[in-house]
Amino acid sequence: MTEHRYTLTLSCPDRVGIVAAVSGFVAQHGGWIVEASYHTDQETQLFFMRQEIRADSLPFDAAELRARFSKLANEFQMNWQVSDTKVKKRVVLLVSQQDHCLNDLLHRWRNGELQVDIPCVISNHEDLRGFVEWHGIPFHYVEMPNKNEQDKTPAFAEIARLFDTVRGDVMVLARFMQIVPPDLCTRYAGRIINIHHSFLPSFAGAKPYHQAYHRGVKLIGATCHYVSDELDAGPIIEQDTMRIDHGDTVEDMVRYGKDIEKAVLARGLRYHVEDRVLVCGNKTIVFR
């Protein structure tokens, strides 16, 4: 997208007049809506909306738009935000030793397909330092003890410090093979994205391809989801699968799966940075 736009996303208790009120507010100020999506969750009776507005159609900036919209938002008890497409999201990538997801995201970033800033990459291994620094991106090694989770507290505190120092917007676990502690899950709720190499909720945890092989499944997949304090159980953003058969080995599944993982993570991250994902309990509404 090259056109400068403001993206308004919101959720609130469903009632008559929400769309009319929001659209009327935009029209009152001469705003030009170029994309609009709506959804009501029948179980919770919450209403979800996403609108893109041409920035040059409004007589004020994003800050003034937020200030003026707040009165309407309070009237409808909205949980809302306005983002500016000129302000790129700051994405911090976390990796361990496998590089396929990292390589794919950096390629998309370099060719302009993924419109984000990547202020740094953090890893618990040194293996990918040269590759990351070749892209001109700072690489931070954080030692991660291979013991119990309590021993990893200082390491995760350092990861949080680095993330805050570079003013990260979203943390992406691009095959970062460590369990994020509950306090960080709470602290950055809705801001940590993981790629899990199975079609969740099947085969959560370690070695999902091995689990799938021994179960004799005919489909394998990958899941991009927000991280929560329950392992591999956070709100799902994007998934995909591919068919396999009895002749495929675990090694074949791992090889096939890498292609699925890359594509699913890239799509999920794109949806997030374009403000297309709204969380509803442990589900998501994704306005593609």
Residue 232 annotated among the catalytic residues of the structure: yes
> Cα dist. 144→64, 108, 155, 157 in Å?
45, 29, 6, 11
Find all residues with CB under 8 Å of 39, minimum gap 6, and list them.
47, 48, 285, 287
Same domain, 74 and 96: no
Distances (CA, A) of 109 to 58, 116, 193, 266: 30, 7, 17, 10
130 CA to centre of own chain: 26
Structural domain containing residue 67: 5-84
Same domain assignment for residues 69 and 134: no
201 closest CA partner among 236, 166, 176: 236
Q: Which of 154, 178, 180 is nearest to 97 (CA)?
A: 178
- Could you tell me if 118 and 233 lie in one domain? yes
pLDDT digits (tens, 9 = 90+) for 151-161: 899 999 999 99
Q: How far is CA 25 from CA 13, 79, 267, in A?
A: 19, 17, 32
Helices (H), the chain: 18-28, 62-75, 100-110, 129-134, 153-165, 182-187, 208-215, 250-273
Whichever domain contains 15, its CATH number is 3.30.70.260
- Considering the domain architecture, whether residues 101 and 207 belong to the same structural domain is answered as yes
**What is the DSSP secondary structure assignment for residue 179, as one 8-state letter?**
P
Do 32 and 48 lie in one domain? The reply is yes
Report the pLDDT value the prediction gives residue 149, as an integer from 0 to 100: 62
User: What pLDDT, on a 0 to 100 scale, did the predictor assign at position 145?
Assistant: 87
Residue type, position 171, single letter: M
Q: Do 141 and 242 share a domain, yes or no?
A: yes
- In this structure, the answer to whether residues 77 and 98 fall within a common structural domain is no
Domain match, 47 and 133 both? no
The Cα–Cα gap between 274 and 57 comes to 20
Does one domain contain both 36 and 101? Answer: no
Residue 61: what pLDDT?
Answer: 97
Q: Which of 127, 232, 252, 259 is catalytic?
A: 232
The number of residues in the chain equals: 288
CA distance 198 to 265: 12
Residues forming beta bridges with residue 196, ordered by sequence position: 223
Last residue of a domain, one of 84, 101, 116: 84
User: Is residue 62 domain-shared with residue 177, that is, in the same domain?
Assistant: no
pLDDT at position 206 = 87
Domain boundary among 84, 104, 130: 84
Specify whether 133 is located in the same domain as 99. yes
Q: What is the 8-class DSSP label of residue 180? A: P
| Shared-domain flag, residues 271 and 145 | yes
- Residues in the chain with pLDDT < 70? 1, 147-150
Largest CA distance in the chain: 63
CATH number at residue 160: 3.40.50.170
| Cβ–Cβ < 8 Å for 72, 21 | yes
Cα 28 to Cα 52, 67, 262, distances in angstroms: 16, 15, 43
pLDDT tens by residue, 93-140: 999 999 999 999 999 999 999 999 999 999 999 999 999 999 999 999
Domain total in the chain: 2
Q: For residue 133, what are its two tokens?
A: 């620094």
Domain boundary among 40, 68, 84: 84
